[in-house]
Amino acid sequence: MFTATPRNDYLFGEDFQDGLDSPSSQLTAEEIRKAAHVVNGGEVALTQCPSCRGTGRFRTYSGRDGGACFKCKGKGGITTRQVGAIKAKATKLANQAAWKEEHSAALAYVQKRAGKGSSFYASFLDKLESYGTLTEGQMAVVYKDMAKDAEFWAAKKAERAAAAPKVDMTAITALFDRAPVKLVKKPIFRTVDLTIKKAPATGRNPGALYVTATDGGEYLGKVVDGTFHKAYEAPADTAQKLMAVAVDPTAEAIKYAAKFGACCCCGKALVNPVSVLAVVGPVCGPRWGLDHLRLAAAEMLAAEKAEEEILATRAGGQ
């Protein structure tokens, strides 16, 4: 049986207290429950429902009536308790999103390890899905493993760098440096087996030279500060071929022109006899500072033509 105390005055008012003192005015349990519900922010303390904006009806994006609002049950308003629950949920989701952003690198590592078959890290993903975050202890394990992996791969990288062959690319670099930037935006030097490209000054490896396969275009490695870093899939003799190109680029250009009948600088077909003999076309010659090859070729062809004319004159005189 509910017993009134002076503490109830501020909940239900003096009239209610007086009513409890009267034997003929005892409230039922249901009436007491409803009265307490009102005082705790019930029916008389409704706030406009954010889902239906007070209409009590759910509207689709196209404007169609979707029936009674699922959040306020068609009343158009929600209680202060519901408002608090909505705010708490939004705050929780925002905190989880901020936490994930803060630990994005670590979570990417967890995804990577789980993707490679680690059941241990797969369990971390399950916990993340369930709780939205991981515990401090779990994150300590992740960061510890990340540090171990970083140390391991740093040692591997240093080991590969120490074993990488040294290549003097002075001749190739000088060739690229002679090509004006405004006319040759992407300098490329082609040989029979290797194609060498100059890395952009604003890229990840300014000053480096990228090496690809002439036939197929596969990436074979890069030259940085005179050291050739071979790609894992590149043939074992790539470094030796690159050294041969670096020693005598002109000889390699001649081999390229002989095999493909094309300019080693732009890759276009060589048709003019001077261009064929010089292994460089009339446009690339001045652009790359290779006009001396075209001049020598022109002189050689002129000498051959003069000799042919002399022989023809002699034959006609006989």
Average pLDDT of the residues in 99-128: 94
pLDDT at residue 152 above 50?
A: yes
State whether residue 213 is helix, strand or coil: strand
pLDDT at residue 14 above 60?
A: no
Residues 250 and 145 in one domain: no
pLDDT of residue 52: 87
Residues 180 and 253 in one domain: yes
pLDDT at residue 298 above 80?
A: yes
pLDDT of residue 169: 87
Q: What value does the mean pLDDT of the chain take?
A: 81
More confident residue, 96 or 46: 96
pLDDT of residue 24: 47
Average pLDDT of the residues in 198-217: 87
The answer to the question of residue 114 being in a domain is yes
The answer to the question of residue 96 being in a domain is no
Average pLDDT of the residues in 191-218: 88
Look up the domain containing 137 and give its range: 103-162
pLDDT of residue 25: 53
pLDDT band, very low/low/confident/very high, at 253 (cuts 50, 70, 90): confident
Q: How many domains does the chain have?
A: 3
pLDDT band, very low/low/confident/very high, at 34 (cuts 50, 70, 90): low
- pLDDT single digits (tens) 44-84: 457 888 888 888 888 888 888 888 988 888 888 888 888 88
Burial bucket for residue 172 (CB in 10 Å: 0-12, 13-18, 19+): buried
Of 22-26, 76-80, 239-243, 308-312, the least confident: 22-26
pLDDT of residue 74: 85
pLDDT at residue 262 above 90?
A: no
Residues 36 and 146 in one domain: no
Please state, in angstroms and as integers, the Cα–Cα distance from residue 175 to each residue in 202, 248, 284, 293, following that order: 20, 12, 12, 13
Residues 124 and 184 in one domain: no
pLDDT of residue 96: 93
Q: What do you get for the CA distance between the two ends of the chain, in Å?
A: 147
More confident residue, 299 or 194: 194
Q: Could you give the angle at the alpha carbon of 76 between the alpha carbons of 75 and 82, nearest 5°? A: 85
pLDDT of residue 2: 34
Of 32-41, 125-134, 270-279, the least confident: 32-41
d(CA 262, CA 275): 9
Residues 231 and 280 in one domain: yes
- pLDDT single digits (tens) 73-91: 888 888 888 888 888 988 9
More confident residue, 247 or 5: 247
State whether residue 229 is helix, strand or coil: strand
Average pLDDT of the residues in 250-272: 84
pLDDT of residue 116: 93
The answer to the question of residue 318 being in a domain is no
pLDDT of residue 181: 61
Residues 158 and 232 in one domain: no
More confident residue, 204 or 149: 149
Full DSSP string of 238-279:
HHHHHHHHHH-HHHHHHHHHHHH-B-TTT-PBP-SHHHHHHT
The answer to the question of residue 193 being in a domain is yes
Q: Does the reported pTM lie above 0.75? A: no
The answer to the question of residue 317 being in a domain is no
Residues 110 and 34 in one domain: no
The answer to the question of residue 95 being in a domain is no
Residues 255 and 191 in one domain: yes
Q: In one letter, which amino acid is 102?
A: E
The answer to the question of residue 27 being in a domain is yes
Residues 151 and 177 in one domain: no
Final residue before a domain boundary, out of 162, 181, 208: 162
d(CA 250, CA 218): 23
Residues 218 and 239 in one domain: yes
The answer to the question of residue 91 being in a domain is no
Residues 158 and 178 in one domain: no
Residues 114 and 192 in one domain: no
